[in-house]
């Protein structure tokens, strides 16, 4: 017990460090290729140290998924757009979604893969709420071709599909992947079937 207390005392950011270590292990070995013991070694702490924050591997995976959703939500909320142009904002949010997946594929995969962890019924929807808010404003402005619920599902399916095809190295998406190509793909998909003309 004394050793654990001493270790955590000198390691004030232990929880975040363990999550970081777990993400690296998942990047290297996949979700099935990491354990609390391996995470401890990667973080440079004793095997007992993680149990101050996580009762088991499942809880650590939950924390990784929560980190992923939190970062995704931040990206969507930070998407740039001209003031009042929600059509442009919807596209920028879609691009931000795909960009997050490409830049942090392990974190993205864990967020949307519930194997070995609990469903994230609160943080998941909260991360995607930025899409919903944009679409809600478009609906109130009379700009949606389809019901709001359908538009939300369509937009999410579209950006998630492009993200997965890209990080899974589908030749059609990954070989020529660029921000310009993503924009050319997402623009008609997100706006053409969802948004009415001015």
pLDDT score for 150:
95
Please give the average per-residue pLDDT across 18-31, as a whole number.
90
CATH 1.10.10 range(s) for the chain read 2-54
The CATH number, out of the four listed (1.10.3720.10, 1.10.357.10, 3.20.20.80, 3.40.1160.10), of the domain defined by the range 65-192: 1.10.357.10
pLDDT in tens, 63-97: 999 999 999 999 999 999 878 899 999 999 999 99
How far apart are alpha carbons 181 and 167 in whole angstroms? Answer: 15
pLDDT in tens, 36-66: 899 999 988 988 888 888 989 999 999 999 9
How far apart are alpha carbons 105 and 14 in whole angstroms? Answer: 23
Q: Note the pTM of the prediction, 2 decimals.
A: 0.85
In 34-147, where does DSSP find H-type helix?
Answer: 36-43, 57-77, 86-103, 105-112, 123-140
pLDDT score for 1:
30
The CATH number, out of the four listed (1.10.260, 1.10.150, 1.10.10, 3.30.70), of the domain defined by the range 2-54: 1.10.10
Phi, psi of 195 (to 5 degrees): -100, 135
Kindly state the tokens that stand for 20. 């970081």
């Amino acid at each position: 017990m004394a050793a654990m207390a001493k270790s955590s005392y000198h390691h004030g950011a232990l929880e975040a460090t363990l999550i970081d270590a777990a993400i690296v292990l998942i990047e290297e070995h996949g979700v099935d290729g990491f354990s609390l013991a391996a995470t401890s070694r990667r973080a440079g702490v004793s095997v007992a140290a993680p149990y101050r924050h996580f009762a088991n591997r499942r809880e650590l995976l939950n924390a990784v998924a929560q980190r992923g959703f939190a970062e995704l939500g931040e990206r969507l909320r930070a998407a740039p757009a001209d003031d009042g142009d929600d059509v442009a904002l919807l596209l920028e949010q879609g691009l931000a979604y795909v960009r997050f997946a490409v830049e942090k594929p392990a974190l993205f995969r864990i967020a949307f893969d519930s194997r070995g962890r609990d469903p994230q019924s609160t943080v998941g929807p909260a991360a995607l709420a930025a899409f919903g808010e944009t679409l809600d404003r478009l609906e109130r402005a009379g700009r949606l071709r389809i019901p709001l619920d359908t538009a939300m599902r369509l937009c999410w399916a579209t950006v998630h599909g492009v993200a997965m095809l890209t990080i899974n190295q589908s030749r059609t998406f990954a070989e020529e992947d660029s921000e310009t190509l993503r924009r050319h793909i997402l623009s008609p998909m997100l706006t053409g079937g969802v948004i009415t003309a001015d």
